[in-house]
Amino acid sequence: MKLGLGAATAASCVLALTFAAVPAFAQKQGGILKMYHRDSPASASIHEEATYSNNVPFMPVFNNLVFYKQDVAQNSLQSIVPELATDWAWSPDKTELTFNLRSGVKWHDGKPFSAKDVVCTFDMLRDKGTAKFRKNPRKTWYENVAEVTANGDAQVVFSLKRPQPALLALLASGYTPIYPCHVSPADMRTHPIGTGPFKFVSFKQNESITLTRNPDYWKPGLPHLDGMEFTIVPNRSNAILAFIAGKFDMTFPTEVTNPLLRDIKAQDPAAICEMVPTNVATNLIVNREKPPFDNEDVRLAMAMALDRKSFIDILFEGQADIGGTMQPPPEGFWGMPPDMLRTIPGYDPDVKKNREQARKLIEKAGYGPDKRLNIKVSTRNIAVYRDPAVILIDQLKEIYIDGELDVVETSNWFAKVARKDYAVGLNLTGNAVDDPDQSFYENYACNSERNYTQYCNKDLEKLFDQQSMETNIDKRRTLVWDIDKRLQEDVARPIIYHIRAGTCWQPQVKGVTVMVNSSYNGYRYEDLWLDK
Amino acid sequence: MAAYVTRRFLLMLVMLFGISVIIFILLRLVPGNIVDILFDAAGFVNPAEKAQIEHDLGLDQPIAVQYARWIGGLFNGDLGYSYISEKPALAEILPRVPITARLAGLALGFSILFGVPLGVISAVKQNTGLDYLLRIVSLSGLSMPAFWLGLLILMGFVAAFGTIPIYSAEPQTVWDALLMYSVPAAAVGFRSSALIMRLTRSSMLEVLRQDYIRTARSKGASDGTVNYHHALRNAILPVITVIGIEAAFLMGGLIVTETVFNIPGVARFLVEAIRGRDYPIVQNLVMFIAIIVVTVNFIVDLLYAAFDPRIKFAD
- Name which residue leads in pLDDT, B311 or A156: A156
Average pLDDT, chain B: 87
> What is the model's pLDDT at position A266?
94
| Closest to A494 measured CA to CA, from A437, A426, A396 | A426
**Nearest beta carbon to residue A415 from set B36, B87, B269:** B36
In single-letter form, the type of residue at position A461 comes to E
Tell me the pTM.
0.85
Tell if the CB–CB gap between A415 and B46 is shorter than 8 Å. no
Q: Is there a contact between B308 and B237 (Cβ–Cβ < 8 Å)?
A: yes
Instruction: Please report the DSSP string for A434-456 in residue order.
Output: SSHHHHHHHHHSTT-TT-TT---
- Written as one letter, the residue type at A146 is A
pLDDT digits (tens, 9 = 90+) for B60-75: 888 899 999 888 888 8
Among A65-74, A242-251, A472-481, B186-195, the minimum mean pLDDT is found in: B186-195
**Residue A450 or residue A105, greater confidence:** A105
Confidence label for B103 from pLDDT (cuts 50, 70 and 90): very high
- Strands A401-408 and A373-380 turn out to be parallel
Q: CB under 8 Å to A230, separation ≥6 — which residues?
A: A35, A36, A37, A56, A57, A208, A209, A210
Angstrom distance (rounded) from CA B52 to CA B83: 14
- Binned at pLDDT 50, 70 and 90, residue B11 comes out as confident
- pLDDT level of residue A2 (50, 70, 90 thresholds): very low
User: B51 contacts in A (CB within 8 Å)?
Assistant: none
Residues of B in contact with A242 (CB under 8 A): 164, 166, 168
Reported as a single tens digit per residue, the pLDDT across A255-292 is 999 999 999 999 999 999 999 999 999 999 999 989 99
Asked whether residue B255 carries a pLDDT value surpassing 90, the answer given is no
Please list every residue in chain A whose beta carbon sits closer than 8 Å to the beta carbon of residue B183.
none
- Cβ(B296)–Cβ(B248) below 8 Å: yes
- The 10 Å CB-count burial string (b at 16+, else e) for A50-77 is bbbbbbbbbbbbbbbbbbbbbebbbbbb
Residue A12 has pLDDT above 60, yes or no: no
User: Per the omega criterion (within 30 degrees of 0), is the bond before A494 cis?
Assistant: no
- As a whole number of angstroms, the distance between CA A265 and CA A8 comes to 44
pLDDT tens profile A344-357 = 999 999 999 999 99
Residue A429 has pLDDT above 70, yes or no: yes
Q: What percent of chain A has pLDDT over 90?
A: 81
What does the DSSP 8-state code read for residue A111?
P
Rounded CA gap, B13 and B7, in Å? 10
B40 in contact with A at a CB cutoff of 8 Å? Answer: yes
Q: 3-class SS at A202?
A: strand
Kind of pairing between the strands at A424-430 and A66-68: unpaired
Q: Where are the alpha helices (DSSP H) in A134-220?
A: 167-171, 185-190
Chain A residues lying within 8 Å of B151, measured CB to CB: 237-238
**A48 has pLDDT over 80:** yes
B156 in contact with chain A, both atoms CB, cutoff 8 A:
no
Predicted local confidence at residue A22, as pLDDT: 45
Residue A159 CB: number of other CB atoms within 10 A? Answer: 14
Q: Which residues of A touch B45 (CB under 8 A)?
A: 414-415, 418-419, 449
Q: Which of A43, A188, A202, A411 is the best mutation test for B, with the most CBs of B within 10 A?
A: A411
Give the pLDDT mean for B11-19: 89
Beta bridge partners of A227: A32, A212
What is the H or E stretch that residue A105 is in?
A: none
Q: Which residues contact A368 (CB under 8 A, 6 or more apart)?
A: A362, A400
Q: Is the pLDDT of residue A5 over 70?
A: no
- Cβ–Cβ contacts within 10 Å for residue B154, how many? 25
Q: What H or E segment, with its residue span, contains residue A327?
A: none
Alpha-carbon distance A348 to nearest alpha carbon in chain B (angstroms):
32
Across A419-442, b (16+ Cβ under 10 Å) vs e yields: eeebbbbbbbbbbbbbbbbbbbbb
> Which is more confidently placed, A64 or B245?
A64
**Which is nearest to B249 in space by CA: B205, B309, B198, B188?**
B188
pLDDT at B109 over 80: yes
Task: Report yes or no: B196 and B112 within 8 Å, Cβ to Cβ.
Answer: yes
Q: What is the ipTM of this complex?
A: 0.79
Q: For residues A463, A466, A468 and A471, what is the CA-based torsion angle, rounded to 10 degrees?
A: -140
Residues in chain A: 532
Strand, helix or coil at A33?
Answer: strand
* A128: CB partners within 8 A, 6+ apart: none
Closest by CA to A343, choosing from A499, A488, A498, is A488
Quick: pLDDT tens for B150-200.
889 998 988 888 888 888 888 888 888 888 899 999 988 998 999 999 999
Cα A458 to Cα A466: distance, rounded to the nearest angstrom: 13
Torsional sign, CA B263, B264, B267, B271: positive
Secondary structure E strands in A296-452: 373-380, 401-408, 424-430
Helix H or strand E segment including A108? none
Cα separation, B53 vs B36, in Å, equals 10
pLDDT value of residue B170: 82
The burial of A48, by beta-carbon neighbours within 10 Å (0-12 exposed, 13-18 middle, 19 or more buried), is given as buried
- A107 vs A84: CA distance, rounded Å: 12
Per the document, the length of chain B is 315
Sign of CA dihedral A145, A146, A151, A152: positive
Interface of B with A in 160-179 (CB under 8 A): 162-164, 166, 168-169
Peptide bond into A292 cis (omega under 30): yes
% of residues, chain A, pLDDT over 70: 95
Residues 6+ apart with CB under 8 A from A519: A52, A253, A254, A278, A279, A280, A430, A501
Q: Per residue in A288-297, pLDDT tens?
A: 989 999 999 9
CA angle at residue B302 from B296 to B305, to 5 degrees? Answer: 145
Query: Which runs of consecutive H residues, i.e. helices, occur in A376-531?
Result: 383-396, 413-418, 436-444, 458-469, 473-489
Q: Give the residue with greater pLDDT, B132 vs A136.
A: B132
Burial of residue B219 (CB within 10 Å: 0-12, 13-18, 19+) is exposed
Compute the nearest-CA separation of B208 from chain A (Å).
47
| pLDDT exceeds cutoff 80 at B2 | no
Q: Do β-strands A32-37 and A227-232 pair in parallel, antiparallel, or remain unpaired?
A: parallel
Q: Residues 6 or more apart from B286 whose CB is under 8 A from it?
A: B19, B23, B270
On the question of pLDDT at A441 being above 80, the answer is yes
| B213 min Cα distance to partner chain A (Å) | 52
**Interface contacts (A, B; CB < 8 Å):** 125
Angle, vertex CA A58, rays to CA A52 and CA A59, nearest 5: 80
A282: nearest Cα among A106, A474, A494, A451: A494
Element (H, E) at A228: strand A227-232
* Residue A228, CB-side half-sphere exposure with 13 Å CA sphere: 31
